A and B are shown apart, each in its own frame.
Chain A
Amino acid sequence: MDLLSGELEVEKHVQYILSLEEKKDSLESVAMDYLRMNGAYWGLTTLDLLGKLGTVDRDEVISWVMQCHHESGGFAGNVGHDPHILYTLSAVQVLALFDKLDVLDIDKLSDYISGLQNEDGSFSGDIWGEVDTRFSYIAICCLSLLHQLDKINTEKAVEYIVSCQNLDGGFGCTPGGESHAGQIFCCVGALAITGCLHHINKDLLGWWLCERQVKDGGLNGRPEKLPDVCYSWWVLSSLIMIDRVHWIDKEKLAGFILDCQDKENGGISDRPNDAVDVYHTYFGVAGLSHLEYPGLKAIDPAYALPVDVINKIFFGRK
């Protein structure tokens, strides 16, 4: 495809991500230290998509990841923190990138996750009981990567997710919650992984999703909200999973993402000329991968990991 609106500054983005490691003592970095596991997943996956995962010290990363492992079986966001399902998925995804899932005590981890399932099929984030369809996706994605889906009640899990489906075809965080592209990604992803996409009205949802595209080509997450690069992932992945991605203008979206780069210092922001962060850098690059931007590795829309990583896990080959 013809992308003359701008170039992806690969080297600058790689340097930006690597520099985050060095800036560990900056105020911003210290303030975000409790979610470093998420940050590691965003940064490392982006590097892999750009073909530069080899620039990091694999053993150092894995050693740090395992220091975040809690005796309950879950992972914390950083050393010395409490476990949570959010960081457990990121940890598993990071290990998958390095093909080191074998360092895990899979039974213990699976027990931690299955222990978070509630009677109605929903999942809590941790021992404190917060419920959200995000956690349904996380549980299903994580266990599927470890071939342990049978450890949970998938039928009830699916039932709960379907109960969060709204009339517009979208999904909210809980039943009756406003349809939101992030929640939609989680529900569609969970249904895709469990082989239950037949519960979705793909035409109806596809239309709702393609209506997220605004004039400048970017995507928003709900009607009448501003576009944001992160929706390049949530909306785009969802459209791909239901085979409706051709309903948006892909070229215009790619142009929007490229406009959100900081071409001087690297990194991508939520919308043009805003401050960059690793979260939006990941979603921008992942979105461009979905749009088949040349030179990027393909990324799996449901597992949010490079396709070659997924192939290794499910088919034993790269």
Chain B
Amino acid sequence: MSSDEEEEERIPISERKEWLDVKPIPQDEGLNPVVPIAYRDDFRETMDYFRAVYLSDERSPRSFYLTTEAIHFNPGNYTVWHFRRLVLESLGVNLHDELNFIESIAKVNSKNYQIWHHRRWVAEKLGTEVVKAELDFTKKILFLDAKNYHAWSHRQWVLQALGGWEDELDYCQKLLEEDIFNNSAWNQRYFVVTRSPILGGLEVMRESEVKYTVDAILSNPENESPWRYLRGLYKGDTSSFIQDPEISSMFLKVLKTKNNYVFALSLLLDLVCHGFELNEEFKEAVEPLRPSQPDPPESNFAIIICSVLETIDPLRSNYWTWRKSNVTS
């Protein structure tokens, strides 16, 4: 309930003039109450009256208002939302007002599937006139929780169904500046770079995106997301990946810090297996990372890298052992 409503005394529905003709219907499987609390009685009463109008299919303003009350008590109840939509359609309620209502509920129930679905349903009806409203709405929710899966999913739908791509890359940029570890923002960045009708596609964007990603990696090499993003930039074009001098230089920088190099070694391993040749500088960077010199000494650097990973990433040692077994000399 909003703070405004908490200040007003709630009048029991049974005492409201406009409801005197309705007989509330209690829940079928009511049992002995545990502890009677005033709040629970209000909730129960609201649902008893809801049940009455739902079963008689009364599509009136008072029914509509009742669904508002029921939703405030329990926004997860999909039957109430379902009935609200029926009433909305019958009455021709102002859908812009509905968007405001949804926003007020969503802010305190941001992971509720019913709310997001209802929002999409309303937005779909209003169409392109609400593109800005929808982007602003998801922005507000993401401000509270920048990884909210529902918000991102809604935002992706808005872009594809209604448009509004112009500022999306900037928005991703801003979120990543706030938290470079936000995997959802990285995912959205990829979504924009590959699907935006304005930007020109992955090939065109690759150079600038690689620069951006390498910077992100160098500031936090332990961050999983930019490493995956980097792989995505070179999708289907491993030879470009291997030949890019920026990539080589990035590897060397990370390895030489002797810190947080798990993801670096993992990607290096993949590239080596695809033909990336390790020059002397690389070999000198990897050598000091080896746990110990096995007997007889290993000269295959792919195998050496696997051995390092087995040691420094013990949770996944079985995976690295398997990778090692797959290395062909």
Contact partners of B73 in chain A: CB under 8 A: 31
Interface of B: prevailing SS: helix
The answer to whether A27 and B40 touch (CB under 8 A), given A80-B79, A167-B232, A213-B315, is: yes
Contact A24 B183 (CB under 8 A): no
Closest to B222 in A: A224
Total residues of chain B contacting the partner, CB 8 A:
58
Does A248 reach chain B (CB closer than 8 Å)?
A: yes
Does A223 reach chain B (CB closer than 8 Å)?
A: yes
Closest to A76 in B: B79
The answer to whether A79 and B29 touch (CB under 8 A), given A27-B40, A34-B78, A176-B191, is: yes
Contact A174 B153 (CB under 8 A): yes
Contact partners of B78 in chain A: CB under 8 A: 34, 77, 81-82, 84
Contact B153 A177 (CB under 8 A): yes
Does B12 reach chain A (CB closer than 8 Å)?
A: no
The distance in angstroms between the C-alpha atoms of A211 and B225, with both chains bound, is: 12
Contact partners of B132 in chain A: CB under 8 A: none
Does A156 reach chain B (CB closer than 8 Å)?
A: no
Choice from A23, A125, A247 contacting B316 with Cβ under 8 Å: A247
Does A32 reach chain B (CB closer than 8 Å)?
A: yes
Closest to B314 in A: A249
A-B contact count (CB 8 A): 129
Does B184 reach chain A (CB closer than 8 Å)?
A: yes
Choice from A67, A76, A223, A246 contacting B225 with Cβ under 8 Å: A223
Contact partners of A33 in chain B: CB under 8 A: 27
Interface of A: prevailing SS: loop
Does B256 reach chain A (CB closer than 8 Å)?
A: no
Per-residue contact bits, chain B 218-241, to A (CB 8 Å; 1 contact, 0 not): 000001110010011001000000
B189 to chain A, nearest CB (A): 11
The answer to whether A25 and B225 touch (CB under 8 A), given A82-B79, A178-B152, A207-B319, is: no
Does B44 reach chain A (CB closer than 8 Å)?
A: yes
Residues in chain A within 8 A of chain B (CB atoms):
23-27, 30-35, 64, 67, 76-77, 79-82, 84, 125-126, 128-130, 166-168, 172-174, 176-180, 206-207, 210-211, 213, 215, 217, 222-225, 246-249, 252
